[in-house]
């Protein structure tokens, strides 16, 4: 395949054309893995994917092992590897409407997520904003880099799913809760990147509650209020977006109520995170 790439911004994101994601060979998969590590977010238009093709594409990234989301069944999906992401006029919330990294509470977090759009709001809207955590870290002052480089923070699945969505875990289980380094090394290029997010990160270990709240809030605001590290993706029906879940955060903007936005996400697991 002849792949054409158009950057969305100089820092993050690329529109990719000239590829049919149902026909990925190993050479093409290797090229996409390199491109994803470089750009963080890849956008593919006019793709025709059923669940099997969607999962085959996801398996080209990370360990190749698909992630089973704890809310997949509750979302209405019959396949635990396919998470339904849908908001309608009856929704009290929209999944992803806030800055986060997918399921960062897991011991081995998601390496890449692939979201495929089935239905877009007739009123427009429903964009997703992404941010580069490599650039977010690079823009911090050296004293702050040094401080957070020695710290670990707790990521708790109960924060978004129980407290925000009111969803309880399956009977006899609890949501994952894991402490990760606040600065990790990208598994492909070794670059240091910031690994805290408002969606899942609850506290920093080894400091007071006041220090933890203040430092986390400063980092969250740094990510959310720095447009130079961000790109905005406009969706169409049959668009698929792949994002590097280790090196980016995202916010799915819920600006289309009461209209419907319907997509499905398949994610692939990565390895344990390593401190930078």
| Cβ density class 91-101: b for 16+ within 10 Å, e for less | eeebbbebbbb
> What one-character DSSP code corresponds to residue 67?
P
Question: Nearest 5°: phi and psi at 248?
Answer: -135, 160
- 85-95 pLDDT, tens per residue? 999 999 999 99
pLDDT tens digit at each of 276 positions of the chain: 678 999 999 999 999 999 999 999 999 999 999 999 999 999 999 999 999 999 999 999 988 899 988 776 666 677 889 999 999 999 999 999 999 999 999 999 999 999 999 999 998 999 999 999 999 999 999 999 999 999 999 999 888 877 767 777 777 778 889 999 999 999 999 999 999 999 999 999 999 999 999 999 999 999 999 999 999 999 999 999 999 999 999 999 999 999 999 999 999 999 889 999
What's the pLDDT at 169? Answer: 72
Which residues belong to the active site? Answer: 100, 102, 250, 265
- Rounded to two decimals, the pTM is 0.94
Q: List, in order of start, the domains of the chain with CATH numbers.
A: 4-269 (3.60.130.10)
Using alpha carbons, list the distances in angstroms from residue 145 to 59, 74, 142, 205, 271. Answer: 34, 40, 5, 16, 24
What's the pLDDT at 71? Answer: 72
- 30-70 pLDDT, tens per residue? 999 999 999 999 999 999 999 999 999 999 998 889 998 87
- Distance between CA atoms of residues 137 and 248, nearest Å: 11
- The total number of residues shown for the chain amounts to 276
45: left (phi over 0), alpha (psi -120 to 50) or beta: beta
How far is C-alpha 45 from the chain's CA centre? 19
What's the pLDDT at 113? Answer: 97
What's the pLDDT at 75? Answer: 60
Q: What is the CA radius of gyration of the chain?
A: 18
């Amino acid at each position: 395949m002849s792949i054409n790439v158009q950057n969305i911004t100089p820092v993050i994101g690329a529109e990719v054309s000239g590829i049919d994601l149902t026909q990925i060979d190993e050479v093409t998969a290797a090229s996409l893995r390199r491109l994803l590590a470089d750009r963080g977010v890849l956008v593919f238009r006019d793709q025709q994917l059923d669940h099997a093709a969607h999962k085959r594409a996801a398996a080209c990234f990370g360990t190749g092992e698909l992630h089973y989301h704890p809310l997949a069944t509750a979302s209405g999906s019959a396949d635990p590897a396919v998470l339904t992401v849908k908001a309608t006029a009856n929704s009290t919330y929209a999944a992803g409407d806030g800055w986060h990294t997918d399921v960062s509470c897991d011991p081995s977090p998601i390496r890449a997520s692939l979201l495929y759009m089935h239905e877009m709001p007739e009123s427009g809207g429903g964009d997703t904003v992404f941010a580069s955590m490599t650039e977010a870290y690079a823009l911090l002052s050296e004293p702050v880099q040094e401080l957070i480089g020695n710290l670990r923070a707790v990521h708790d699945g109960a924060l978004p799913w129980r407290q925000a969505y009111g969803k309880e875990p399956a009977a006899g289980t609890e949501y994952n809760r894991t402490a990760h380094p606040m600065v990790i090394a990208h598994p492909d290029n070794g670059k240091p990147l910031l690994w805290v997010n408002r969606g899942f990160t609850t506290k920093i270990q080894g400091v007071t509650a006041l220090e933890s709240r203040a430092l986390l809030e400063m980092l969250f605001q740094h990510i959310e209020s720095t447009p130079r590290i961000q790109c905005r993706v406009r969706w169409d029906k049959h668009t698929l977006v792949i994002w590097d879940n280790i090196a980016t955060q995202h916010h799915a903007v819920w600006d289309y109520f009461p209209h419907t936005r319907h997509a499905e996400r398949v994610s692939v697991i990565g390895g344990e995170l390593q401190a930078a």
